Amino acid sequence: MVHPTIAKNQTVRSRSPRRFSVSGWSVGVLLIALLISTPLLSVLFSAFTHIGDETSSDIWQHLATTVLPGYVMNSVGLMLGVGVGVLMLGVSTAWLVTMCRFPGSRIFEWALLLPLAAPSYLLAYTYTDFLEYFGPVQTGLRNLFGWETANSYWFPDVRSLPGAIVMFSLVLYPYVYMLARVAFQEQSLCTLEASRSLGCNPWRSFWTVALPLARPAIAAGTALALMETLNDYGTVEYFSVPTFTTGIYRTWFFMGERLAATQLASLLLLFIAGLIVLERLSRRQARYYQGVGSQSSVSQFQLRGMRAIAALLACALPIALGLLLPATLLLWMTLSNLDKSLNREFFELASHSLILASVTAILGILLALVLAYGARLQPGPGVRFGVQVAALGYAVPGAVIAVGILVPTGRLDNAIAQFAEQWLGVSTGLLLSGTVAALIFAYLVRFLAVAISTVQAGLTKIRPTLDDASRCLGNTPTQTLTQVHAPLLTGSLFTAATRGFVDVMKELPATMGIRPFNFDTLAVRVFQYASDERLVDAAAPALAILVVGIIPVIVLSYRITRSRKYSQGG
């Protein structure tokens, strides 16, 4: 038995270095949070410090009387339409695959996630070529019914606000599907069985029991989908639907009005803040309590006949329209022009995208490790706030981040240039603005939250007793992280790196604003080709983005299938 005095002295000796190390990790967390929040603070500071300026007022009045109402109406219309679309697709398919049995239901459990791999702008370009006047659909209709001109029949215009709503809904409904399905799976067996014993059919059980219980999860998924909608630039620009994102780019790059662009960016941030507040209120107002029951023991509704066919079509159509049809069209266009598609320019663009995505993924997991591990070492309010601030970037549109980075880097470049010319007699030019470093920083601000959430989820699975055992062996927090946690976090780190890699490959708004000259990526070149109506030339880069994007979705689908097997004891 150890003497109490000796044990006390050992405790004191072991805690003294811990305080110093924890303080260092906390400072690191706060510094990273401050760095990541710089673009957001820059936008807010630039917008609100020039409110009283006469020039600023004139420009803002001009925007308010000309284009601002259109930005507001189109943005609100997109949010309402996409909200309804993702709710209908995500909730209905989640309920069908969770609570019903029909042919192919086990496959649809993971396949319904696949459209998440396709960026909305890829669908916009592909469906425009497919549904235009000289496309195969309208050409086939004219040949079939003998129509000669467009005046002989009516066909919906895909390049419109309703068309954009459909594109966004087809690729963003998996956000709602994932969270709704988890919520349906975790619902209490007793509650669902009680509704059945009271004579509720599947439809009534869904509306009166399952849907209210899943409301917080559904609201969170819808908020994520709407944030991605407000972040988009490629789809709305190509469809000529002016929104805040297109307005920011036009005001900054075409009109040269930096201040007005920052004010538009601030107004867009209000929309994002409103979405976050509504999502938090939805969760806070939920007062439903439920036990956790095993989904494998719930007697599912067996669908037969027309009901089974209807359920199968309801699950198959989103996959076919959101992924299979666009991928098939892109593959056909690529193979039919293989010599022009896989040329030297394509591989140069691919190398640019791979370099940016790889560097960002590596830096992202390193920063996420510091943030998540710092919060684990000292879970105080200051550190938790720092981690939350660092994770805000995912809710900020890429156009806002681009403006928030260009403003301070431009001022810093001008200050350095003036100093160098005045004191050294040399011209430095632009050292930070429009560089690869600035672009990677924008990616980190935008997607660091994904890495943080993944690493934090992995750390929660590691028992705190392992930390104590490592400290008893004399290891510092850094040694504990590298020798104990890092090997256990291999899967989480790989997932975080993969998600960050794919997000960078697909990112368009921030890349359009910050990229260096003559350093285009696959996403930028797809947008440029599509804007020039060179959709055949855009097919190969678009297909490459789609192939890369499907990798993490397949990994996620595999994990969902494996977890279901484990929950069933398989």
Q: What is the pLDDT of residue 12?
A: 41
Whether residue 508 lies inside any domain: the answer is: yes
Q: Is the pLDDT of residue 89 over 90?
A: yes
CATH code at position 405: 1.10.3720.10
Distance (Å, rounded) from C-alpha 273 to C-alpha 151? 46
Across the range 480-490, mean pLDDT stands at 87
Which of these ranges, 12-21, 24-33, 339-348, 450-459, has the smallest mean pLDDT? 12-21
Query: Of 9-23, 204-218, 263-277, where does mean pLDDT reach its minimum?
Result: 9-23
Number of domains comprising the chain: 1
Quick one: pLDDT at residue 323?
92
CA distances from 351 to 84, 107, 202, 362, 515 (A): 39, 35, 52, 16, 14
Least confident of 23-37, 380-394, 418-432: 418-432
Look at residue 337 in the predicted model and tell me its pLDDT. Answer: 83
Assess whether pLDDT exceeds 60 at residue 329: yes
Residue 437 lies in a domain: yes
3-state secondary structure of 100: strand
- Domain range holding 433? 14-49+337-531
Is 499 inside a domain boundary?
A: yes
pLDDT at 348 over 50: yes
Q: How is residue 206 written in tokens?
A: 């869904």
Is 243 a domain residue?
Answer: no
Q: Using one digit for the tens of pLDDT, what is the confidence trace for 104-160?
A: 888 898 889 889 888 999 999 999 989 988 888 998 988 888 888 878 888 888 999
Is residue 199 predicted with pLDDT exceeding 70?
no
- CA-CA distances (angstroms) from residue 78 to 83, 242, 340, 520? 8, 11, 36, 29
Query: Which segment of 317-321, 371-375, 492-496 scores lowest on mean pLDDT?
Result: 492-496
Overall residue count recorded for the chain in this entry: 570
Question: pLDDT over 90 for what percent of the chain?
Answer: 27
Is residue 6 scored above 50 in pLDDT? no
CA 486 to CA 464: how far, in whole Å?
A: 14
Residue 330 has pLDDT above 80, yes or no: yes
Is residue 489 within 8 A of residue 481, CB to CB? The reply is no
Distance CA 307, CA 302 (A): 9
pLDDT at 20: 38
Confidence category of residue 21, pLDDT binned at 50, 70, 90: very low
- Which phi and psi angles does 257 have, rounded to 5°? -100, 90
In whole angstroms, what is the distance from residue 328 CA to residue 333 CA?
9
Both tokens assigned to 361: 């993924």
Dump pLDDT digits (tens) for 500-547: 898 899 899 889 888 888 889 999 999 999 888 888 888 899 999 998
| Rounded CA separation 404/52 (Å) | 21
Please report whether residue 183 resides in a domain.
Answer: no
- Of 191-200, 251-260, 309-318, where does the model show the most confidence? 309-318
Could you tell me if residue 166 is inside a domain? Answer: no
Question: Among the ranges 190-194, 230-234, 264-268, 470-474, which has the highest mean pLDDT value?
Answer: 230-234
Apex 399 CA angle, 394 and 405, nearest 5: 85
Q: Which of 99-103, 185-189, 405-409 has the lowest mean pLDDT?
A: 185-189
User: How buried is residue 217: exposed, middle or buried, by Cβ count under 10 Å (0-12/13-18/19+)?
Assistant: buried
Query: Is residue 91 one of the residues assigned to a domain?
Result: no
Of residues 58 and 355, which shows the higher confidence score? 355
| Average pLDDT, integer, range 9-14 | 42
Torsion from C-alpha of 349, 355, 357, 359, nearest 10 degrees: -160
pTM above 0.85, yes or no: no
| Alpha helices (H) along 37-117 | 38-48, 54-66, 68-99, 105-111
519 located within any domain: yes
Name the pLDDT band for 562 (thresholds 50, 70, 90).
low
